[in-house]
Structure 1
Amino acid sequence: MNGQSGRRRRVLIVEDEDNIAIALDYLLGREGLDHTRMDTGLGAVDRIRADHPDLVLLDVMLPEVSGYEICQEVRADGALSDVRIVMMTARGSALERRKALALGADGFIAKPFELKELRDELHRLLDAEGA
């Protein structure tokens, strides 16, 4: 998945569970995406501002700062309006989904997720960017 300029797409994973991060690492590597990981919400917004990734895979329940707070802060920063955010949570209720989307998330994945479901969501968000 390359952007129009041919550069590799960059993804920031903000996820505290190692087993999920390993699955994400595998999938993103297979999709040819550059990616880095943070295991806490603390400092995530600063990292997003510094790195300006194409996409953030953001866990809802994180140590220090919640994914909802991070999403809200990123959406309040006009310079980050092109950063796509996919929220991930083990509590995949309709209420959680509505809250994530209301705060400005571009997508929502319930954990545990199927790799195909996440792959489809990545393509939906990243392929549409250049369209």
Structure 2
Amino acid sequence: MLDCLVVDDSRTVRRAARRMLEAQGFSVREAEDGQQALEACRAALPSLVLLDWNMPVMDGITFLRRAREEFGPDEPPIMLCTTESDISRIMTALESGAQEYIMKPFDAEILAAKLEVLGLLPDEAA
């Protein structure tokens, strides 16, 4: 079974993401900030990290850079999930090692499409 680590300081966002991911067959773990997420990845590397940008303790970009240094350029796949829509911010995320970028608010259809792009859902067109 695929598992996702949802990293967001908002309990509401974590719960919503959990519902959407569980409906897609994922098991879900949660972290409130990048430091907790790094510790969770060290304990067991997830199939995917859904990562908020703006968080206390350790922000998403800092986590992303540390995860890439520690675990390598491709594992785990990391999808940044944020309200940051400026193209320079998106480029920073991708250049720092994010494989995908999703804007808040998002719904189950948008999330499923991104999961499909990452190869984490079967292609419905096939």
**SS of residue matched to 2:20:** helix
Aligned residues with identical type, % of pairs: 27
- Aligned counterpart for 1:64 among listed residues 57, 60, 67: 57
Match of 1:87 in 2: 80
State the Cα distance separating 1:119 from its structure 2 match: 1.3
2:53 is matched by which residue type in structure 1?
V
Counterpart secondary structure, 2:34: coil
Alignment partner of 1:116 out of 81, 85, 109: 109
Q: Aligned to 2:46, which of 36, 46, 53?
A: 53
Question: Over aligned residues, Cα RMSD in angstroms?
Answer: 1.7
How many aligned positions are there?
A: 121
Q: What's 1:12 paired with?
A: 5
With normalisation by structure 1, the TM-score equals 0.84
2:49 counterpart SS class = strand
**With structure 2 as the length reference, what TM-score do the two structures score?**
0.87
